[in-house]
Amino acid sequence: MNSPRLWDIFCAVIDNHGDLGVCWRLARQLAEAGQSVRLWVDDDSALRWMVPQESLARQQGVQVLPWADASDIVKLASLPPADVWIEAFGCTLPETFVAHGVATHTHRPTWINLEYLSAENWVPRMHGLPSPVMSGPAKGWTKHFFYPGFTPDTGGLLRESDLLTRQQAFDRSAWRQKHAPKLASGGLLVSLFCYEPTALHQLLTQLVGTPHHLLVTPGRPLAAVHKALANMRDQPSWSALPYTNQNGFDDMLWACDLNFVRGEDSLVRALWAAQAFIWHIYPQDDNAHHAKLTAFLDWLQAPQSLRHFHRVWNGVEEGQLPDLTPKDLQAWRHCAQAAKARLLTQDGLMQQLMTFAMHST
C-alpha cells in the first residue's frame, strides 16, 4: 500500500517559536520524504526569520496557506482533497473545511489530533486511541490521538534524516570564534532561550567574574536579561544574538557548553545536541507543569544536581541555583548523551505518523 501523498496540517499559533516551529519541521520532513503538505496557519509571520523566504521558496512539497482560507468554500473547491488531516496541539479544524471534506472526499482522510509532548506515564496509554466525532458535519467519523514522546510506546520525536551528518560536519570551533570572540580561555559558552524565570538574576550573578560568556536570544529572553541587569552593579560577559532560522538555532546548541531552552521544540533540539541543558517548561496556572517536569527528569535519569537546578529555575521550589561546577556539567552532558543514544534507537515522529496514516487508509 502506498503511503498517503497529501497532508493538511493546521496550526493555531500560541507561541510562534514552538507551535509553528514544530509544525514547520514536520511539514519539511514530510516533504523531504516525498509527501505533499499544506500548512494552514493563522499567523505565519515567524516564518520570515525561522525559514528565510528564499529557503521557503525552495522547499518543494510544502504550501503555506492562511487559516482563513479554510473557511472559504470557493478556495477549498479549487484544492484537491488531502489524505491526512492533522490538528496540531489541540486546535480545531474550521467547520467549513470539515463540511467540505465530508461532502467531497471519496474516502475518509486519516484524522490525527497531534498532542503536546510529555513524558508522563499516561501518555503511552492514550497514544493512538480513537476519538469518535460526536457532532458536527463529520459526526460518525473518527480522529486518533497521536502523542509525541520519549519511549518506544509513544509517537517519538521529530528528527531529520540528515541530523547526524550535519552534526558531524559542523565546525564548532569556527562558530564559537565568530559568535563569541569575547569568550575567555577556559570559559563556558552558555546560550539562553527562556521565558522570565525568577532565578534569572541568580544565574547572571553567578556568571559575574567568571570566564564564561552568555549568548542571549532575542525577544522575551533579551527583555528579561535587560530587566535583570538593570538592578545589577556588576555584569557578566554577555552578548545578544539576532533571530535565526532553525538550522542556525541547532548550530548554537551544538556550539555551546550549556543550553537553556524553553517549551517543546527547543527541548527536542537540546536533546539532539547532547550538550548539558536546562529546560524552562511552559508554565501553567494550575502548576500542572510541575508533574510534567518531574516526569521528564525521571525519564532523563537526571542526576540530583540537574534536578535541583531545574526545580529552582522553573520556580517549583525556592532556593539558590547550584553552582555550575565542572563535575556537575560533565554529569549533565553525559546524561544528555545517554538520552540521545536511547532516542536514536526509536523511530522518529514523522516516520511514525507516515506509518500510522498508511495503515489507517
So which residues are the catalytic ones?
19, 264
Q: Nearest Cα to 226, choosing from 257, 196, 265?
A: 196
Distance between CA atoms of residues 24 and 31, nearest Å = 10
Residues 6+ apart with CB under 8 A from 178: none
Q: Which residue has the cell 506515564?
A: 121
- Cβ-contact 183, 213 below 8 angstroms: yes
CA 64-350-155 angle, 5° bins? 125
- Cβ-contact 258, 188 below 8 angstroms: yes
- Cβ-contact 310, 292 below 8 angstroms: no
Residues 6+ apart with CB under 8 A from 3: 35, 354, 357, 358
CA 27-31-36 angle, 5° bins? 90
Distance between CA atoms of residues 188 and 210, nearest Å = 9
Residue 171, C-alpha cell as written in the block:
565546525
